[in-house]
Structure 1
Amino acid sequence: MLGLGGLLLVWFAWPVMKSAWQAQQADSAATALRLNYRLSLDALLNAIDRLDRAVDLDPTAGRYFQRSELLAGAALSPNFAPTAQQRTEWLKRAEDDLRAGLGDDPARGIQWLRLSSVRLALGGPSQASVAPLLMSIDTAPMLLPLWPVRLRLVLDNWQALTTAQRETVALYVARTWQLSPNHEWFADAIRTPVDELFVRYFVRNEAGAQEELTRLLTERRKKKS
């Protein structure tokens, strides 16, 4: 019986082990995209193929999230110039993977944030992008490393936010200013005069915030000139 039990264990574990091996072959490509390193198209397509196999063997939330990161990274990376059709295909596949993964593991703030980014890239500012953005905040509200991307998404989606959503987001941004030891990323999120108005509004009640934003923005403008 022990021999049979061991055989059954290997039988059931084999797809998981093989899936992990396939996914590992895509790690270098995912890392290159994450760090904005150069990556050849052949290496990217090979990594996508590896993760396709990994998902087929072990369709868990983690595998879906891995593939979504690779697909979204490839679609949005400045190092690639895919056709509009290819970019849309990668983004739609990433969206499908994120929906599948979050259906099984919804308490993942970074994945909700990625879904918001993907939907913004696919359809522009909309409640389709806002909803996962707010879920990201709900599931990981004070995870500071996520807030630079969140703030950009808030600004990009501002026109699609309802009044109640705007008030909620404004409170979180102000709280994040209070908790953040470094406010450089607030200035980095500002790309237009309208962005600046909103960010200044978010932190209007924070002591010294307006002066600090002015200093940070002035430093950036001097570097560009």
Structure 2
Amino acid sequence: MLGKTPRTRIQKKNHETILEAALDVFSGHGFRGATLDQIAVEAGLSKPNLLYYFPSKVAIHRALIDRLMVTWLDPLRELDAAGDPIEEILAYVLRKLSMAREYPRESRLFANEIVQGAPNITDKIDGELKSLVDEKTSVIKGWSDAGRIAKVDPYHLIFSIWATTQHYADFDAQIRGIIVTDGETHFDDARVFLDRLFRQMLSPNTEK
């Protein structure tokens, strides 16, 4: 991998080209199924040229994961303890759905890694992801205990949000096969549905 000397414009371009190509390959084949040869072909570079920038498949994958985690955790970081509980949670739901729409390859990259046992990101899950989820579930529990939202297990609420939003990226082919749509209108329909689903579930009035 390149050292600390500043990259030239061409080096920066090739670095990004490799990561973009790797994102396509890893999201489609998973870490185990992807090869350096596939990434090099996708990037339009020779394998030796690719290895000038990254010494291994692991290094490329790690660079993608490191970059992904920043983007992936931002929506949850934005959940504000000082805000209206239901609106804050609903905003998080819709941010996650927007990410499924805008970053489907990144979602599938993460999903493939998890399905394979998360061998390359265990430290990320046990570290920054767990810390952030623990922090925000504590906020949600406080809202629930105070009666500001319905009684809910905060961890399973977060898991259900992930399941119902990332599904639209990870299972895109299945969704499009069932709904038979060439456009993106199903995302608009999903926004309406998920807003109603979580709003009704979280309303304290549902317990009366």
TM-score normalised by L of structure 1: 0.29
TM-score normalised by L of structure 2: 0.30
Structure possessing the higher radius of gyration over alpha carbons: 1
